[in-house]
A = this chain, B = another copy of it.
Amino acid sequence: MNNFEFFCPTKVLFGKNTISELPKLIDKSHRILMIYGGGSIKKNGVYDQVKKALEGYQLFEFGGIEPNPKYETCMKAVEMIKQENIDFLLAVGGGSTLDGTKFIAAAAKYEGDNAYDAILVREEPVKDALPIADVITLPATGSEMNNGAVISRLATNEKLPFHSDLVFPRFSIIDPQVTFSLPQKQTINGIVDTFVHVMEQYCTYDVNTPLQDDWALGILRTLINEAPKVLAEPNDYEARANIFWCATCGLNYWISLGAVQDWATHMIGHELTAFYGIDHGQSLAIVLPRLLKNQKVSKSKKLAKLAREVFGVNETVDLKAADKAIDNIEEFFNSIGMKTKLSDYEIDSMDAAEKIKDRFNKRNTALGEKGNITAETAFEILKNC
């Protein structure tokens, strides 16, 4: 096991009707900015629940954070924060709203000219940030229990991550009931996002972390069992709760402490989203199987373990078991209605391979747990997507 440091001060309230507990968690002295997305929270009743819980508070609103939250939009929120002397941010929505809020919290306290270049491009440590919290409504990104966010910029077709302990949510409220009304597509995207988060943390090389590996496979087993239930019966509270908790635990790092992580699928997927606008979950489902095939030899031990302990594959040769793991993963994605080819979205794989190769070449990109996924390797992976 590698040395590790772990810290997550976020308080989690999980369960039915937990939104009503907001007043216990925020002091009335705050000037709160409630940040949300495209308005789905107005349709599913979450907006009303939050407003009711925070009656009598100094509550301001900023709507319109997009999926793959845009720098340009975030900066409009920063302006409003300065005008209204806001001192607490409450994200109400999915991972994009929360990621946007994390960036807004840091940008609002950034003293230089260009928060985008400083925080996302030059990756300067965040020195100060407004306190944030969230009512998370989409099981997917795990952003509700970590210190990371991914921000896109329209001007340059870029999508970049940042991390800071200062943007851990003070609390996260997770009421699985709010996911009953999710469009099927978003439920599926979230399940795939969670699955791939686990793969990025588990499927590398072995450094003797048997408990963490067992737990990672435990999330995959649970997802595979619970996914058909929520798709068949969207109002199945227990299945919704289990899927949501899998999503949160998929990226709070409990499964990968002391282990080696990958994240190449995400970095290539981000480019597909940036260039072609396909959903994050969709991009991951396209890249993962081809990336695993490409890296099969190096990842064979973990893939073989996954094949045996998740899919019950009875095959003693690791490389053969690894192939079956990859096939089973793609079949699972397809079985829940997730497509896994660029052609399914009418994207030309050679066009994607060329564009992303060029961008990675310019950045000297070297991805994956061994840093061996260069622009050329990404090209090989993408042309088979």
Contact = CB atoms under 8 A, between A and B. Distances in A.
Contacts of A238: 1, 208
Contact of A11 (B6, B11, B13, B218): B6
Given A5-B12, A6-B14, A7-B12, 16 more contacts: A1-B15, A3-B15, A3-B18, A4-B12, A6-B11, A7-B10, A8-B8, A210-B221, A210-B242, A211-B222, A211-B242, A211-B245, A214-B221, A214-B222, A215-B215, A245-B257
Indicate how many identical chains form the complex. Answer: 2
A241 interface: yes
A83 interface: no
Interface of A: 1-16, 18, 208-211, 214-215, 218-219, 221-222, 225-226, 238, 241-242, 245-246, 249, 254, 257-258
Contacts of A242: 1, 208-211
Nearest to A212: B245
Contacts of A4: 12, 14-15
* Majority DSSP secondary structure for residues of A touching B: mixed
Contacts of A18: 3
What 5 A-B pairs are tightest by C-beta distance, nearest first?
Answer: A3-B15, A214-B218, A9-B9, A7-B11, A208-B238
Nearest to A221: B214
A254 B257 contact: no
Contact of A219 (B11, B211, B221, B254): B211
Contacts of A241: 1, 208, 258
A109 B6 CA distance: 29
Contacts of A222: 210-211, 214
A36 to B, nearest CB: 24
Contacts of A6: 11-12, 14
A5 B4 CA distance: 26
A354 to B, nearest CB: 41
A2 B18 CA distance: 12
Nearest to A17: B3
Contacts of A249: 211
A225 to B, nearest CB: 7
Contacts of A9: 7, 9
Contact of A2 (B2, B13, B15, B218): B15
A142 to B, nearest CB: 14
11 contacts: A1-B14, A1-B245, A3-B16, A3-B18, A5-B14, A14-B257, A15-B258, A210-B221, A214-B218, A214-B221, A215-B218
A353 to B, nearest CB: 37
* Residue among A2, A209, A210, A221 with the highest chain B CB neighbour number at 10 A: A210
Nearest to A214: B218
Contacts of A16: 3
